[in-house]
C-alpha cells in the first residue's frame, strides 16, 4: 500500500469521493495512475518527510516529546 496526497478531488473504484488535500492509502498501481494523471502530488513523501522519522512527532516517531497522543505518557 502507498499513501498519496491528493491535489485534486478523486473518486475511487468503490465510488467514494475524496477531496483535494486528503491523504489516501491505495495500491501501488493506483498510486502510479494517480501520479500519471496529476491527481496526487508526485513529490509528497508523507508526514515524516522521508525515512528519517526524527522530524515527525507522531506515533512511532523517534521524537515524541511534543506528541501528547497515545504513544506518549503525560
User: What are the domain boundaries of the chain?
Assistant: 2-44
- Asked if 41 contacts 7 with a C-beta cutoff of 8 angstroms, the reply is yes
- Give the ranges where the chain is alpha helix by DSSP (H): 28-36
Q: What are 9's three cell numbers?
A: 478531488
**pLDDT averaged over every residue in the chain:** 76
**Mind listing the pLDDT tens digit for each residue in 23-54?**
999 999 999 999 999 999 988 877 655 544 44
Residue carrying C-alpha cell 468503490: 14
Amino acid at each position: 500500500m502507498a499513501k498519496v496526497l491528493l491535489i485534486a478531488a478523486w473518486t475511487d473504484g468503490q465510488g467514494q469521493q475524496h477531496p483535494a488535500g486528503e491523504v489516501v492509502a491505495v495500491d501501488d498501481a493506483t498510486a502510479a495512475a494517480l501520479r500519471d494523471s496529476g491527481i496526487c502530488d508526485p513529490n509528497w513523501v508523507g508526514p515524516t518527510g522521508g525515512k528519517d522519522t526524527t522530524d515527525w512527532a507522531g506515533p512511532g516517531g523517534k521524537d515524541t516529546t511534543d506528541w501528547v497522543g497515545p504513544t506518549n505518557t503525560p
